[in-house]
Amino acid sequence: MKTIDWVDGAIELIDQTKLPGELVVNRVDNLDSLIYDIQRLAVRGAPALGVAGAMGVALLAAQFEDLDKVRSEAARLRAARPTAVNLSAMVDRVLPVIEQGPAAVLAEALAVRDEDIAACYSIGQYGADLVRGLVQRDKARIMTICNTGGLACVERGTALGVIQTIFEQGWLEEALPVETRPLLQGARLTAWELKQMGAPFRLMVDSAGPFVLAQGLADAVFIGADRIAANGDTANKVGSYSLALGAKRAGVPLCVVAPETTIDMNTATGSDIEIEDRGSEEVTTFQGVRSAPEGTATINPAFDVTPHDLITAIITDRRVIRPSAGEKLSEVPLGPTRAA
Ligand code: MRU
């Protein structure tokens, strides 16, 4: 089943706010509904947001003959969430095709979908090979944060896709997801996906992560990315930076896993990345129940930035770059996309 797809003239997407309790598919046939679903994280994860952006332009192209109207509506779509570069990048990729008509726009959006599926299989191959070299034991124990599985992409994941490949190859000892406050993508979504796979895992609270690394209970940390700046600094779900610091202290490799489409060479460093602040409610309430006094001020960055010197490797669908060893994104050549 695909997380997001185009079915009979509209977008269908798994409503991730309902998991793990219910598997519900939303049918989205207009831009306001799509933006609403993006902002409330019914569809989320950088690659899935890219596909949502591409298919959103296809919806607009089918709806409006006035190309200026399509362009102005697409501007709203590309700004729906600011940190994941895939959303704006895929809107920008598909938008020029509106000159060729709605059918061409849809074909381009479907190409974005299909390229994501192929990229994630390739990431699994590059990633599993790399872990083989990094891990000193027969079986691997891999910590991860947020959800970087098929739910964050189309069919198969990035960081969780590598864990899945290792599991399928028979040498995953266990996955160690952290729950991922405040919206629990690790607990609700990653644990759900691991359970569906039948893979062994243990879930922990976010703040246990660095200590568990210090105890020597993980061989590597694999995180996804919302935007990788030109110097390798990486924005990902808040909590990634703490894991990177803990991993460094414990001598455990930390790898960023993402498709090439998440690399943004137009953003020089991590400090140039816009970090979405999602407001107070997610911090002052827990599942609809108030958990802090009325009027409590908050800081709620949805993402943080891990500096490149804390990143052992960036694994993409086309290459492996080692930023902490001084390798630069601009200098490491692209390799082939690898099949499953
Ligand atoms: O706020 P979210 O759930 O969209 O955040 C998602 C992440 O931080 C993921 O790690 C990232 O988008 C990569 S998904 C393959």
Q: What is the mean pLDDT of the chain?
A: 97
pLDDT tens for each residue of 182-203? 999 999 999 999 999 999 999 9
Segments of the chain assigned E as strands: 4-7, 10-14, 25-28, 140-144, 172-177, 220-223, 227-229, 234-237, 254-257, 263-264, 285-286, 289-290, 303-306, 313-315, 320-321
State yes or no: pLDDT of 333 exceeds 90. Answer: yes
Choice among 5, 226, 264, 317 that is catalytic: 226
Give dist(CA 337, CA 192) in Å, integer: 28
Q: How confident is the model at residue 337 (pLDDT cuts 50, 70, 90)?
A: very high
CA pseudo-torsion sign 240, 235, 26, 8: negative
**Is pLDDT above 90 for 287?**
no
Checking if the pLDDT of 340 tops 90, the result is: no
State the pLDDT at residue 82.
98
Chain segment 93-132, per-residue pLDDT in tens: 999 999 999 999 999 999 999 999 999 999 999 999 999 9
Contact 142, 325 (CB under 8 A): no
Does ligand 1 lie within 6 Å of residue 226's CB atom? yes
Count of beta carbons in the 10 Å neighbourhood of residue 201: 20
Asked if 257 and 123 count as a contact pair (C-beta separation under 8 A), the reply is: yes
Say what the pLDDT of residue 180 is. 98
Ligand 1 within 6 A of 257 CB?
no
Amino acid at 336: P
Domains in the chain (CATH in brackets) are 4-115 (1.20.120.420), 125-325 (3.40.50.10470)
Name residue, tokens 């590059």: 126
Overall pTM surpassing 0.85 (yes/no): yes
Separation CA 314–CA 257 (nearest Å): 6
Considering the chain, what percentage of its residues have pLDDT values greater than 90? 98
Instruction: Rounding to the nearest 10 degrees, give the CA dihedral for residues 286, 292, 294, 298.
Output: -90
The first and second tokens of residue 238, run together, are 């808040």
**Pick from 304, 222, 227: nearest CA to 260:** 227
284: tokens are 């002052």
Q: Torsion angle, CA of 86/257/249/142, rounded to 10 degrees?
A: 130
| Best residue for ligand 1 mutational test, from 3, 158, 236 (most atoms within 8 Å of Cβ) | 236
Tokens of 44: 């989320």
At 117, the amino acid letter reads I
The whole-number average pLDDT for the span 140-169 is 98
Flag whether pLDDT at 170 surpasses 90.
yes
For residue 275, give the H/E element and its range.
none
Ligand 1 centroid, distance to 91 Cα (angstroms): 18
**The pair of three-digit structure tokens given for residue 278, joined into one six-digit string:** 């999602």
Residue 29: active-site member: no
Residue whose structure tokens are 């099949």: 339
The answer to whether 84 and 276 are in contact (CB under 8 A) is no
pLDDT tens digits for range 209-263: 999 999 999 999 999 999 999 999 999 999 999 999 999 999 999 999 999 999 9
Distance 147 CA to ligand 1 centre (A): 6
Residue 271 has pLDDT above 90, yes or no: yes
Sheet with 4-7: strands ordered across: 4-7, 10-14, 25-28
Q: How far is the CA of 37 from the centre of ligand 1 (A)?
A: 15
Report the alpha-carbon distance of residue 135 to residue 153 in Å, rounded.
Answer: 27
Among residues 104, 97, 103, 142, which one has the least CA distance to residue 124? 142
Q: Write the pLDDT tens digit of every residue in 75-92.
A: 999 999 999 999 999 999
The CB of 106 under 6 Å from ligand 1? The reply is no
What does DSSP assign to residue 272? G
Q: For a pLDDT cut of 70, what percent of the chain falls above it?
A: 100
Query: Which residue, among 261, 278, 224, has the nearest Cα to 81 in the 3D structure?
Result: 278
Cβ-in-10-Å burial (0-12, 13-18, 19+) of 18 comes to: middle
Closest alpha carbon to 220 in 312, 304, 146: 312
Q: How far is the C-alpha of 56 from the C-alpha of 53, rounded, in Å?
A: 5
The whole-number average pLDDT for the span 314-335 is 97
CA of 276 to the centre of ligand 1 (A): 12
Instruction: Please tell me if the CB atom of residue 45 comes closer than 6 angstroms to any atom of ligand 1.
Output: yes
